[in-house]
A and B are shown apart, each in its own frame.
Chain A
């Protein structure tokens, strides 16, 4: 037997494939048959459309039985992730707008004003500024110690996310163990409230007339531009009291504020940052039941826990406005029913946003949940500029150092807090 005869024989499969490569592309030339048929009154339909297929039919050839099964593991052993299509349990055919903790509005505060129909003032209301007063040195020392504890001296050590320097992309910094952001925020805020409570105790104000909740999902269901829209907030601490806050503005002054026009965002639509999504939950959520001993929301503290966020302009102020709106709307829906549009009494809350370095203080007064109404504005929002708590807080030569402490932050928080207490009495 000659080996060469076997080796040189044509591989029929390869030969077929070569021929196929040349002849697979068929040009469809037009000979005017379609026009002639249509002139005779015959309808001409594309074959692909007729078969209702998007691509040409692949040839069906029998599979060889000798081919081994390629699967090594059975399907049921592999973890299954939910497909983001109509089989998802939270799928809705009608797309809705979703706002959540990690939504950043493209153009900032102006867009948030249009979404929530809110007029914005650049100062806190007079009632709160009247409560502002200087605090003794000892209190500030306590807070300075709290800042050091939260930023530097905390014993928790977690592997932190990768450090990024935009000027040196791809540079691998050593992975640092340290305090995560959420821990820093929660520690500092709880200590600040603790200090505020203890100072109020000396002024004959009962600080026990309130309760705190933390890290609880809040969801309000509204209609925006004729579509269902979901407003969610999770990274928060809420303060509840026995009595509601009195509205900051009323009567003619309120009407004058609400008659002013909103800033122009042409050519953008107000829902440009809230993309339409088909997967969302239509379930109202609020942490405290109506009729509970402390069921009136007085303050909301919102955290920025994500590191290395790139924000520009007034995106952070916009986040505070929409978070305050979310919380107030969920509270109003709990009080007056889910289909309420114009509230019988306004819902007023104080709010604060922080990444434990910069602090934003604001007040929000909710009058209406009708976002598609013909009125230009119906709600009110007061916000101050961001206040940095300190300039530097770190180890220098193995010593914890705090520089540039700003006493204004605690004094503003105390003013908000005192105004709530005065209302509760």
Chain B
């Protein structure tokens, strides 16, 4: 028994390459086959680079849902997209379930940064088109000014041909805002509904980006503005953070009925397990006070830079 085992090991060790191994096996263990495939099949040449994201530059993951290839310069062209089905792009392991399949999509690069001049007249853009975007719930608007065309998220009152303005000026008294315009939080009156709010100055909007969502400017304390998020939690932000006045388009998105389990698959979701119960478990009803106000970007110094070191091991 032991001898056989050792023999098998030795055979594997001697024959390293795939070609010779298959020949050895066919000699030692002859099998009956209808076709005479004595020639071992060589490695196939791949015409499509399916793992392009490992070799080509520009592939960036959006969560664990998609991989999108971004060009070097901003463009309004549709970008190629690969589905990740909830897998981590580097390790390939499942991070969250319930995703997979769905209709083919193309990604639209939406510019979330709306920065305007701090002095003088505001920068003005014209809305050329309002259109559907498969990768997000709200509608997107194609806006243009000068020689620059870009996509932004469309607020509920935007119409084709409208002019929207963006200003970075914070006056002493609060302004009377127009819906669709972008201002720093410090310029807006208390009680304004805002969407597409920045967390950190100049980094682009990351609060209230879903269809119909809005945040409320509750109060101002010194040079900070306190915002009530759609989840009712309160957040303290710098007054220079930009925000769009109003709420986002496609308000009745949450009331639209999916209709059939198969439509859920077209949208890229897998069947639910049926284990989730609304009234019990960790998602069940509980009455708790809201967490305390979260203060963002209160550091005075710059961020700590992390420099990753790379190494190629030959093991």
Q: A-side interface residues toward B, CB under 8 Å?
A: 11-14, 16-17, 20, 24-30, 56, 58-59, 61, 63-64, 72-73, 106-107, 169-170, 266-269, 271-272
Contact = CB atoms under 8 A, between A and B. Distances in A.
B81 interface: no
Contacts of B304: 27-29
A261 to B, nearest CB: 19
Contacts of A73: 45
Contact of A16 (B45, B144, B149, B313): B313
A170 B308 contact: no
Contacts, number: 79
Interface size class for chain B?
Answer: 20 to 34
Given A58-B312, A106-B144, 8 more contacts: A13-B313, A13-B315, A25-B306, A27-B306, A56-B307, A61-B312, A61-B314, A73-B45
A29 B304 CA distance: 6
Interface in B117-134: 124-126, 128
Instruction: List the 8 closest A-B pairs by CB distance, nearest first.
Output: A13-B315, A267-B145, A267-B124, A269-B147, A28-B305, A269-B146, A59-B311, A24-B309
Interface string B150-163: 00000000000001
17 contacts: A16-B315, A17-B315, A25-B307, A25-B308, A26-B306, A26-B307, A28-B305, A29-B304, A56-B307, A56-B310, A61-B311, A107-B128, A170-B104, A267-B126, A268-B145, A268-B146, A272-B146
Interface string B250-278: 00000000000000001000000000000
Contacts of A271: 147
Most chain A CB within 10 A, of B147, B266, B311, is at: B147
A57 to B, nearest CB: 9
Contacts of B312: 58-59, 61
B286 interface: no
Interface in B226-246: none
B43 interface: yes
Given A13-B315, A27-B306, A59-B312, A268 B301 contact: no
Nearest to A274: B147
Contact of B314 (A11, A64, A169, A269): A64
A67 to B, nearest CB: 8
A267 B146 contact: yes
B263 to A, nearest CB: 12
B104 to A, nearest CB: 7
Nearest to A55: B310
Nearest to B44: A72
Nearest to A225: B147
A279 to B, nearest CB: 15
A56 B301 CA distance: 24
Nearest to B266: A170
B301 A30 contact: yes
Contacts of A24: 308-311
Given A12-B315, A267-B124, A28 B145 contact: no
A226 B295 CA distance: 50
B283 interface: no
B209 to A, nearest CB: 24
B307 A28 contact: yes
B109 to A, nearest CB: 15
Nearest to B75: A275
Contacts of B28: none
Contacts of A28: 304-307
Nearest to B145: A267
Most chain A CB within 10 A, of B124, B125, B305, B307, is at: B307
B93 interface: no
Contact of A170 (B103, B125, B146): B103
